[in-house]
Structure 1
Amino acid sequence: MTSGINTREMILEILLQINEEGEHSHIAIRNALSKYQFLPKQERAFITRVCEGTLEYRILIDYIIDSFSKITVDKMKPPIREILRSAVYQLKFMDRVPDSAVCNEAVKLAQRKGFYNLKPFVNGVLRTIARQMDELEYPSRKVNLVRYLSVRYSMPEPLVLRWLNDYGEEVTEKMLADFLEEKPITVRCRTYLNSVEETCESLRNQGVKVEPAPYLPYAFRISDYNHILALDAFIEGKIVAQDVSSMLVSEIANPQKGDYIIDMCAAPGGKSIHLGDKMEGFGTVDARDVSRYKVELIQENIHRTDSINVQAHVQDATVFDVESECKADIVLADVPCSGYGVIGKKPEIKYRSTAQKEEELVILQRNILDKAAEYVKPRGVLIFSTCTIAKEENEENMMWFMNNHPFKLESIDEFVPDELKSETTSLGYLQLLPGVHGTDGFFMAKFRRK
């Protein structure tokens, strides 16, 4: 380890934080790397890749370990479990690291962590896997499709079964494969401040690879850079990191100069700033969120982008704000959700889902939509959106809302690109699916108050 830091020990600590303490993966990785900012780029990349990969492929990795170990993964002590998982990830997916080095480093790490008596166990399991992994038989597609897809794409069986029922085999497999794809970050060029050409040129001058993202002329995918915070276009507020699916929300909202807009669950502020940009600095976007921490994230982005018509403050979306009653031209309710549409970016989501959590989320979403309805002016617009692909949270909530409030769906065909137009967009809603539409999984519906 050239930096004097044991990178594998860092990986172990990060994985324990995520899997044992419930930390979000992107936060655990970011915090660890910012603590050791002097680490060379290569070591930072290694840590990130092994942590993310071990998490993404956990079900497949556990299947491999359980096939060769007398003690099953769920019976192991947490540090040994994570040492083996990250080692198996390297054995299976990283050709650059010699198998012998992976095994030796894992054994040394077990000893460093005080598991001296388990060194032979760690050594034996990993050397057997290194020798025999290619001969391992995986579940058969013909015998048990759910089990096959679960192990092949490392997705819990209940989610696989549910999506097979909702979307069919072909679409489900496309989504599962897409969740495991490495994706460049997507950014929105702020066209009302700068031309797209100038912004892209600035990025390319710093060695960034810039490619058009689908659907929107101001959306681009960027790669081959060390840190977004070091890019001039980012520092100067010319770009905002945002998925295309999230950009489409502001397109269908179609704000007019001078509108008063409430964004109820706004952190980190990408949509609020986009809505403000679409009004070219006029009107007001009232960006709200539940905690001081979340509002500070929005304020950082407002400050960086110098968004003069966006303001942020703490307001719990489940608590009725009498001052806002019938005030807003547009209300955006991008409600908390299961997040199944962004599993590709936050893989721990798939391991933490439960039926009870989802039922609680639906109740929370309806509570927020109840309040949102009260803030919309007569003939005003309510946009309801989520980053999930769960029908209970999306279409079922949409129908519930229309049955309980004086709103009707309004066609969004005018605001979405031709490739996305369908029967549902003419009605007023759109479900984007990962692997099918080239975006995150995302749902949006547009209501007009009667």
Structure 2
Amino acid sequence: MRLHRNLCFAVIDGLTLIFNEGNYADKVIQQLLKRDKRWGSRDRGFVAETTYEIVRWKRLYAEIAEVKEPFDRDNLWRIFAVWATLKGIKLPDWKYFEHTPTRRIKGRFDELSQIRKYREAVPDWMDELGEKELGEELWTKELAALNEQADVILRVNTLQTTKEKLYATLFDQNLDTEPIKGYPSALKLKERANVFQTEEFKNGHFEVQDASSQLVAEFLQVEPGMRVVDACAGAGGKALHLATLMENKGQVLALDIYGNKLNELKRRAKRNGAFNIETRTIESTKVIKKLYDKADRVLIDAPCSGLGVLRRNPDAKWKLEPEFLEKIKKTQQEILQQYSRMVKPGGKMVYATCSILPSENREQVDIFLTSEMGKEFTFARENIVYAHKSGFDGFYMALLEKKN
């Protein structure tokens, strides 16, 4: 592979914004890809994938390059040289790469690869916490899986098409997909591609949604005609899935504290032809209180550490703080206590997170079940999804039933 100066500069500019200014990697990359209209898909792929890779392995590369944060541009070029060397890419004779110790880089890589926190590039506290909660063997396997590049998974919108039809129309456009056993609505892209430009996406025939995330709506056991509340709906990936499972019959009430996310859901619902979704912004507790004992089903897709989705959000490793984790666990319990009151007697509730930590998952459910409010519920079942076993995101979901 030959390195092109303008593409490398784009990567360095992106890393500056992500590492030094705390910007989100996905937003930075979106902006970078608009920088030069002459770039082809290969150029854009290089910028996106290289930036993500260096973000993912920041700790390892910085250790090998012997640089510390905040990184100046020279530091970032040294990190870039480490990435290129380990990829076997010949460095051009640019001033940024003068005196790059190629052999020393490879030696340091072999040395540091013996230590998990460097090999998998995670902060000390995260490595210690993961081992404490999951045990050494499970954490080691899971962490390695969470550093692999995520596949692009589509969820077929059965309100508009079928899996077979979508497979065929995408195949005609040289977008080769395959079904995934055990995931009824999923198609996996065999090669990464920008599917958002297709007519099928614009016409709402599919959404991009990880296979593990697709399990959550199904776990809630909804039926057409029900009144279902998605209590932390965000931009609505799961609300849209619920609407399809309910065949547009009944009502999906999508709630969130962020009105702008619900506006995005409205746009997506229109494109999907999902007409049974109603959005409500939680501006006060009144919104929840009005729904006490009214819902057949309640989905609590709780805010969490996001440790199960590091493959698609590698910068979360560097943004997450131990204090945030303690704070979010309190929020999770508060949400469980308050939102569970919307479930009517005989109804069901799913508590879900995209975390792999028991302290955010089963432990939260157990705390809830022993509380005054939780005594009205019984534990039905749970699904713990690990990335190293499934090949997809790490997820947790628990089904609880309210006594009649």
**TM over 0.5, shorter chain:** yes
Rate the CA distance shift 1:318–1:156 in 2: closer, same or farther, 3 A: farther
Q: CA 1:317–1:174 in structure 2 vs 1: closer, same or farther (change >3 Å)? A: farther
- The residue that corresponds to 1:397 in the other structure is 364
Give me the TM-score of the superposition, normalised by structure 2: 0.92
Alignment correspondent of 1:260:
227
Say if 2:13 is the partner of 1:50.
no
Does 2:215 correspond to 1:248?
A: yes
Q: Deviations over 1:344-392 (max 9, x none)?
A: 1101111222221111101111222122112111111111100001111
Give the aligned partner of residue 197 of structure 2. 230
Separation (CA, whole Å) in 1 of partners of 2:239 and 2:48: 30
In 2, Cα distance between equivalents of 1:281 and 1:81:
54
- Superposition map of 1:17-96 within 5 A: 17-66=17-66, 72-74=67-69, 77-93=71-87, 95=88
Aligned residue in 2 for 1:168 = 135
- Give, in angstroms, the shift of residue 319 of structure 1: 7.1
Report the Cα distance in structure 2 between the residues aligned to 1:302 and 1:354, rounded to whole angstroms. 34
The CA deviation string for residues 258-317 of structure 1, in whole angstroms up to 9 with x for no partner, is 111111111221110111111111011111222232112212211110101112232258
Query: Aligned partners of 1:92 and 1:303: how far apart in 2?
Result: 46
Cα distance in 1, alignment partners of residues 293 and 36 from structure 2: 50
- Aligned AA (1:187): L
Letter paired with 1:375:
M
Supply the distance in 2 between the matched residues of 1:239 and 1:161 (Cα, whole angstroms).
39
Does 2:340 align with 1:373? Answer: yes
2:6 corresponds to which letter in structure 1? N
CA deviation after TM superposition for structure 1 residue 28, in Å: 1.2
Q: Separation in 1 of the partners of 2:284 and 2:305?
A: 17
1:177 and 2:149 correspond: no
Q: Which residue is equivalent to 2:7? A: 7
Q: Post-superposition shift, 1:240? A: 1.6
Distance between the aligned counterparts of 1:379 and 1:275, measured in 2?
A: 19
CA RMSD across the alignment: 2.3
**Partner residue in 1 for 2:104:** 132
Runs ≥4 in structure 1, deviation > 3 angstroms?
A: 34-38, 223-226, 316-320
Identity rate, percent:
24
Distance 1:151 1:409, change over 3 A: same
- Three-state SS of the structure 1 residue aligned to 2:325 is helix
Distance 1:80 1:226 in 2: 33
Instruction: State the shift of 1:207 in Å.
Output: 0.6
Separation of aligned partners in 1, 2:396 and 2:37? 37
Once the two structures are superposed, what CA deviation does each residue of 1:192-227 show, in whole Å capped at 9, x if it has no partner?
A: 542221111011111112122242132111143641
Which residue number corresponds to residue 432 of structure 1? 385
Residue 232 (structure 1) shift: 2.7
Deviations 1:75-108 (A, max 9, x none): x653332232223212212x3x422x1x61x62x
Unaligned runs of at least 5 residues, structure 2? none
- 1:98 correspondence with 2:73: no
SS across alignment from 1:174: helix
Distance in 2 between residues matched to 1:5 and 1:324, nearest whole Å:
58
Matched with 1:444 is: 397
Counterparts of 1:317 and 1:383 in 2: how far apart (Å)? 23
Task: Give the TM-score, by structure 1 length.
Answer: 0.83
CA distance in 2: counterparts of 1:207 and 1:316, whole angstroms? 46
Q: Does 1:270 align with 2:265?
A: no
Alpha-carbon distance in 2 for matches of 1:187, 1:279: 19
Query: How many pairs were matched up?
Result: 398
- One-letter amino acid matched to 1:55: V
Deviations 1:15-57 (A, max 9, x none): 1221122222111111221354442212111111210011111
Against the structure 1 CA distance between its residues 223 and 21, is the aligned structure 2 distance closer, same or farther, given a 3 Å change threshold? farther
Q: Which runs of 5+ in 1 are unaligned?
A: 67-71, 108-121, 142-147, 412-427
Please give the secondary structure, in 2, of the residue aligned with 1:194: coil
Residue 385, structure 1, aligned to residue 352, structure 2: yes
